[in-house]
């Protein structure tokens, strides 16, 4: 009797232990399934959300070395970019203005060449009166026709040779600020010299020369036009003109990429 009761007790304990083990395994399985389901649900939701964000954003996503994402805006078409670079700026000196100043310089050069030839050839200037207020010979042979031992006609010729170069369309379009500063300085010196010659003709010599007066008028017009160009387009009007489309210029004008690390 005692042996049978003890065996029954052991069997009962073994069955109880098996029930507890089965119960534990079932609970673990159920909890693992729930965790997997919730994890999958969260992962799926995140993937869908990121997919929607990328689809709705027109930016390009580029991987970076640090593991981030570089989002850049869409690039403009090549035709539009080149057209934007080739379009001239409205702040540049107009072509007609460049040609006017250049032709005035050429006219002053022509008169200066004629005065220089007449001075060294000792010829009378054509179409110029020799009496009264207008007396070209009296002016060109006076002591005031020399400055520092140099004939005024030669000085005028040198000035207009330089003016033809500095007033050319290529000089107006130059991007270097020094070229425009030299133009201004030369015109200031030129107009100062013109004022001295006018004073000498009117108050010292007492006569004027028509050819010399024409040179004075051209110099005055160039001075006024140059000052107007400074007021309208600044000291560097040529910097507003487009540069050639070279790889170096494109690299300088292209904005630096913005990197946003997420």
The predicted-structure confidence for 73-111, as pLDDT tens digits, reads as follows: 555 555 554 444 444 444 588 999 999 999 999 999 999
* pLDDT given for residue 196 in this prediction: 95
* pLDDT given for residue 10 in this prediction: 74
Nearest to 238 by CA among 67, 23, 93: 93
The domain locations on the chain are 38-87, 93-236
Count of beta carbons in the 10 Å neighbourhood of residue 77:
9
The predicted-structure confidence for 172-195, as pLDDT tens digits, reads as follows: 998 888 999 999 999 999 999 999
0.85 exceeded by pTM: no
Which of 5-14, 78-87, 100-109, 136-145 has the weakest average pLDDT?
78-87
- Tell me: pLDDT of 168 over 80: yes
Separation of alpha carbons 193 and 185, rounded Å: 12
Q: What is the mean pLDDT of the chain?
A: 75
Which of 22-31, 44-53, 218-227 has the weakest average pLDDT?
44-53
* pLDDT given for residue 167 in this prediction: 96
- Tell me: pLDDT of 49 over 70: no
Query: What contacts 118, CB < 8 A, 6 or more positions away?
Result: 124, 125, 140, 153
Q: Which CATH superfamily is domain 93-236 in?
A: VKOR domain (1.20.1440.130)
* pLDDT given for residue 8 in this prediction: 72
Query: What contacts 101, CB < 8 A, 6 or more positions away?
Result: 167, 172, 222, 225, 226
Mean pLDDT, range 30-48, rounded to an integer: 43
- Tell me: pLDDT of 33 over 50: no
* pLDDT given for residue 13 in this prediction: 76
């Amino acid at each position: 009797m005692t042996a049978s009761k003890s065996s029954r007790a052991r069997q009962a304990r073994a069955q109880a232990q098996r029930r507890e083990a089965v119960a534990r395994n079932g609970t673990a399985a159920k909890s693992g399934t729930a965790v997997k389901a919730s994890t999958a649900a969260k992962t799926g939701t995140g993937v869908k959300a990121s997919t929607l964000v990328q689809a709705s954003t027109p930016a390009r996503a580029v991987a970076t070395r640090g593991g981030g994402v570089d989002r850049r805006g869409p690039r403009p078409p090549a035709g539009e970019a080149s057209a934007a670079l080739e379009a001239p700026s409205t702040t540049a000196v107009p072509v007609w203005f460049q040609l006017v100043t250049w032709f005035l310089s050429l006219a002053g050069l022509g008169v200066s060449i004629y005065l220089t030839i007449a001075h060294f050839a000792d010829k009378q200037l054509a179409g110029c009166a020799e009496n009264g207020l207008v007396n070209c010979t009296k002016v060109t042979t006076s002591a005031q026709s020399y400055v520092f031992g140099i004939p005024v006609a030669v000085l005028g010729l040198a000035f207009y040779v330089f003016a033809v170069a500095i007033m050319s369309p290529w000089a107006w379009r130059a991007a270097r600020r020094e070229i425009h500063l030299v133009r201004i300085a030369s015109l200031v010196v030129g107009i100062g010299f013109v004022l001295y010659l006018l004073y000498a003709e009117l108050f010292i010599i007492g006569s004027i020369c028509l050819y010399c007066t024409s040179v004075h008028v051209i110099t005055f017009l160039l001075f006024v036009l140059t000052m107007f160009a400074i007021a309208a387009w600044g000291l560097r009007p040529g910097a507003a003109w487009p540069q050639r489309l070279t790889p170096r210029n494109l690299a300088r004008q292209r904005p630096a990429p913005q990197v946003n690390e997420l």
